[in-house]
Structure formats: structure tokens, C-alpha cells
Structure 1
């Protein structure tokens, strides 16, 4: 062996074992968070003094655990761990087998919960694949998907395509499952996630607004223009979805500040509230910059578009998903003029999506 070969061998060994160590550490983190969730649920159901804590349980628990210098135990994180356990009871069998946990009574309890809570209608997926190939950060993204069938789609695609966390996030926030089920060229739609190309936007709002009336036809892929055209073509139904009193005024309303120009996606006037309603469409998750942009729009309308008797304008930011705490901080002090809603597409046919998941999971 040459000296240069020795260096290369040791470097490769270091990289390989470091990766394994990091992966095992993440699996142990997943195990810890999962068990935190389990014990929290157990206390909520059977704790002797649980009534004394009530709605303050997670906050009180967070305060006490931080005294022990435990990381990742904020009020919000503890609620997330609880949700993790309730969403993935079937993971327990893999965790107990892999790490040979000694608490056999605990194992028996969770095995019973796993068999009782696993959705039998979903295509089968070996839970050990999830634990072996997804990090806890992947699970955080998956927990954002309330519908078990849609969540299974993202689980399968994340495994099949070796998605990184940001790729999984992008798939969920751009409604990949809905877009794929509506497209004839499904492989092209899925491939865009890793190519980092702009994804199509074919849905809109309520909190959540379910726009079943759009009736999008199958096309190879969907674009944002398809959505805008569908909304305008079905404007009457869209106004009914929004509620009473909305009168359509403008689409892509341009406002200018010197040589800088901005466009407001949709502008309505509410005849009951006597104010303008400005709607801004966002493809992905809500970001604090979205609130700042809407503030600019609202201030412009206050200064230039209000008539005698009008009330101040209202802004609605329509996005694929939102983090409620971020929304709270970003919109604090804005006098409730900005509302962040979530849009959903027309739900895909269940049988069609089941067939797609079965096909995509073949060979995993």
C-alpha cells in the first residue's frame, strides 16, 4: 500500500463511519421524540394528577424539562412529539426490535395501540423503511399532512426518490399529490421536485377553501396560469366560496412606486363591510415577507383607493400551508387586516390515488 492509498483509505473510512454515526444518532433522536410522545399521551389518559395541569400540561412540562438542560422540549415541540406518536403507532415494532428496549410492559401497550390505530385501508408500507431512510426532520414535514392517504403518497415518494428534507417540504407545500393525480405525465410532475423547477399551482383557498368547482381537466402538467384562468372562468362559484358580499373588481391589479411595479393577484370590494379585499396567492408555505408585502398593498389602498365612507382594506394571503406560530408573529400588530388562509385542490379520487401509491411503492 502506498502512503497516498493509506490516506485515501482512512479518509473513506472516516466518512463512512461518520455518516453511520450521524444516521444512528438521528434514529435515536426519533426514538426519543417518539417515546416522549407516548408518555405524554399515557399521562393525559391515565395520569393520577393529570386534571391539575389540563391545558397547561405541555407548557408546564417544557418549563420543568428545561431545568434539566434537555434540548428540544419547547411547548410546541412536545405537542409535535405527541402528534408524532399518534400519527405513527406502527413504528413502535421497528423501534423496539432495533434498539431492544427493556420495558416489555411498555412494548405490549404500544403494540396494541399500533394494531388498533393503523389505517387498514392504506397500501402496506414496511415501517422499518421509514425509520431507516427518513430522518426526524422528514417526519416533521409529513406530520403537516392531515390526510392519511396523501401522507402515504409522500412517504412512498420520499423513499423512492431519496428526497432530502427540503425536497419533501417542497412536494407537500406545492400539493404534489393532488397535481400528480390530475396529470397524465405523472413522472414529469414528480421529477420537478428534484430538478427544483417551478411547480404548477392549480388550487385555491378557504381555511381551508376546497375549490371543487374548478373541474380541472387532465393535462400533462399544470401552471399558475391554469389556476388563474379557472378562477376567472368560475368566478361566480369562487365568490360563493368566499362568502356573502364579495364583488369582483380586478385581477393582477398593478400598483406603482416610482419605477417599481407590483401586482395584486385579486381585488374584491365587500359591499357589507364597505372595504376592499386584497388577495395574494402564494405557491408554497407562508413566509413573514408575505405579510410585509401585503402591508405595502394595504397602505397603498388606504392612501390611493379608498373613497368616502370606505373602511380600511383587508388583506388575505392564500398559501399552500402555514405555520400558525409564524403567522402570529408575522402579523402581530397589523390590526387583523391580514388573514392567512390555506388552499387545497379538489381532492383526488381515492381509488386513483391508492392505485398510484401501489404502483409507486412497488419494489421498495
Structure 2
């Protein structure tokens, strides 16, 4: 652990308020190290906690890059609120050979309050299976939220399998419809999130680059990362702090 004197001389009272709301010693130790090492402001520390940086670091290939990203944005942007991955163990899905997108959607609606907590600040539930129609063809958007901070609609498309390039085309259709028909004065353009079980990052890049609309592809996971993985990263970060 970092010496108490180091924390007192480095952090403000507001930093300590944020740290005290953490529920485990391991989490607090992680954020103490990172806030000192990266000289985070109170706002940056709160953003790291609210976006579950501690939990997500266990699944990230570029762990250092994820940490640095916290302080890289001065203005609020959609990617400050869109996570990757999302942890859906809170849904309590029973063990099955396979799940359907309807199973996942029903579980989310049944545990809507917990799902909103996982989504993060600002998400307000608006609709499920929102129907939009072109001629005689109907399409349904799985979940629709309005984000009170970003001032825009958030459209979520659920996929039980791996991301496919066709998924981005479908979401782009939804976003263009909302941009033209659902935006009101003061709204920002809608944001789309494709929530899938797995994805190939290269395919995602080619399928979504160059789009005017904000479109994110995020994985969902049904369990939290291994505690040993997180502890190993914390020990490595602590060693770097001692040597610097």
C-alpha cells in the first residue's frame, strides 16, 4: 500500500471522499495507486470509478492505455459513457445450452434497475422493441434510452453471438431514422450501441469507420474478471510507483 503520508500530501479532501465510497480494500488500493501515479483530478477519479475501471482492467489487453484514457478527455463525449465490456452477471441468467436475444432482453427488463446501474450515469429508459416502419416493412430497436447528460437518444441492439458487419448497417438505419424523425430542439444526434457476446476488433474498425453517426460495439460478459488478474496488475503498478 502507498504510505498514508504520500496520500495526505498528494490528494485533496474530495479525493478521499471518492475513495471512501469504494466497497473493498483491493479496489481502494488500485485507485489510490492510479490517482497518485497519474495525478488525476477529482473529476477524473470519479469518472474512473463510475465507469468501473477496476473491473474492466482485467479484460483489457492494453491495460496501461485504458488507465491513461481516463485523463485524455476534457469535454464530455459519448465514449465517456459507453463501456466495454458490460458486465451482466446481475441478470442472473440460468445455465442453458444457448440463449436467444429475446432471453437476454427479457432478463434486462426484469432487472432494469440493475442494468441501468451497469450502464452508468445519465441513462433513462424510454422504450423496448421500438417499432419503425418503411413501407410495409417493420424493424424493432431492442432498447431505447435517453441520456440526460449527453442530451441524446441511445439505441441498443442486442446480439447473442459475435458481431457481424451487417449489424452496423442495421444500427446505422436506426440512427438515421432517429436523427430525422425523433430529434427535437436541443437534442444531440443519437448514439448506437451494439451489445454482443464477442467481436473482432479489426472487423469492427472496418465496419464502423467513416460513419457520421456515433456507433459503438461493446461486448457483454456474464461474470466479473478473475481477482488474481486484477491483483497482479495492481502489484505491477505499485512496483512502478516505488521505482519512479
Fold-level match, TM-score > 0.5? yes
| Structure with more helix by fraction | 1
Q: Which residue of 2 aligns with 1:270?
A: 147
Partners of 2:205 and 2:99 in 1: CA distance: 32
| Whole-Å separation in 1 of the counterparts to 2:125 and 2:135 | 27
Going from structure 1 to structure 2, the CA distance change for 1:217 and 1:290 (only over 3 Å counts) comes to: closer
Q: Check if 1:236 corresponds to 2:117.
A: no
Q: After the TM superposition, which of the residue ranges 275-284 and 215-224 deviates more from structure 2? A: 215-224
Q: How far did 1:322 drift?
A: 1.0
Cα drift, residue 343 of structure 1: 1.1
Q: CA deviation at 1:347?
A: 6.0
Give the 5 Å matches for 1:335-350: 335=212, 337-346=214-223
> Partner of 1:30 in structure 2?
none
Partner Cα separation in structure 2 for residue 296 and residue 234 of structure 1: 28
State the distance in 2 between where 1:259 and 1:316 align: 26
Q: CA deviation at 1:325?
A: 1.2
Structure 1 stretches of 4+ with a deviation exceeding 6 A read: none
Distance 1:245 1:251 in 2: 18
- 2:196 alignment partner, one of 286, 294, 319: 319
> Does the CA-based 8 Å contact 1:206-1:343 persist in structure 2?
no
Segments of structure 1 that go 5 or more residues without pairing to the other structure are 1-145, 147-204, 350-364
TM-score (norm 1): 0.38
Kept after mapping to 1: 8 A contact 2:132/2:139: yes
Aligned residues: 147
Contact 1:211 1:344 in 2 (8 A): yes
User: How far apart are 1:335 and its partner, in Å?
Assistant: 3.3
* Deviates further, 250-259 or 324-333: 324-333
C-alpha change, 1:211 and 1:312, in structure 2 (3 Å) is same
State whether structure 2 residue 207 is matched by structure 1 residue 330. yes
- Name the CA distance, whole Å, in 1 between partners of 2:225 and 2:122: 30
Alpha-carbon distance in structure 2 between the residues aligned to 1:329 and 1:282 = 19
Which residue matches 2:38?
Answer: none
Cα separation, 2, equivalents of 1:213 and 1:338:
25
Answer with 1 or 2: which has the greater Rg.
1
